[in-house]
Amino acid sequence: MAEIHLSDVFVEMADTLVDDFDVIEFLHVLADRCVQLLGVSAAGLLLIDQQDKLQVMAAPSERTRLLELFQLQTDQGPCVDCFRSGRPVSVIDLRAAGNRWPRFTAAAAEVGFTAVHALPMRLRSDVVGTLNLFDTRPGVLEEGAVRLGQALADVATIGLLHHRDILTAQLQTALDSRVLIEQAKGVLAERLQVDVGEAFALLRDGARRHNRLLSDLARAIVDGSEQLPPGTADKLPA
């Protein structure tokens, strides 16, 4: 884990938190970097909305998104417990946690996850969400990886709370746009004959290339005013 690489990641996160930052893109960048740096299979983020209810805000893979939604719908799982306690929750083998979260462990097994590590996004007593790390292999997350994951969560939390007014407005917009983004993923997946994960990656790439909000590009894809983000065809598999 090269120091320069870690430095680059923290600089990238700081650069993303400009005054007009896109909260959806920022959280997806955080999830992506956690997977790359911490050696886990997937990552997701839950944040509270204006009613202090947890919402899925970033889950780059479809199976992660569905599992996060399942936790919220059933009000059961390590990520929910982490938010309520404000403390990390680490489960090295979900197969042994069936008595604690029977429905969650069954759902996790269906999508291939066997370990989960949930880290609180908090500043002092203010808990705004959780950073959740999923793995397809049972086992302990190394202490250094836990510290780094918590550091990333802490930096993100400080940045988000610093932009609290922007965050509140953007979170509501993001929640309102979630259905639209899902529709755009479906449109691109069908049009390009790729899976929804690849479709979302293409959608994100198009938004980032042209400095647009993800929700704005999604709306254009759904209403047909744009067929494909310019330059996105270069990202398609041969």
Go through the domains of the chain in sequence order and give each one's CATH number. Answer: 3-162 (3.30.450.40), 170-235 (1.10.10)
SS3 87: coil
pLDDT digits (tens, 9 = 90+) for 26-49: 888 889 999 989 999 999 999 988
Phi, psi of 211 (to 5 degrees): 55, 50
CA 222 to chain centre: 23
pLDDT higher at 106 or 224? 106
Q: Please tell me the distance from the alpha carbon of residue 230 to that of residue 232, in angstroms, as a whole number.
A: 6
pLDDT digits (tens, 9 = 90+) for 98-130: 899 999 999 999 999 999 999 999 988 889 999
Q: What is the pLDDT of the chain when averaged over all its residues?
A: 84
Contact status, residue 115 vs residue 43, Cβ threshold 8 Å: no
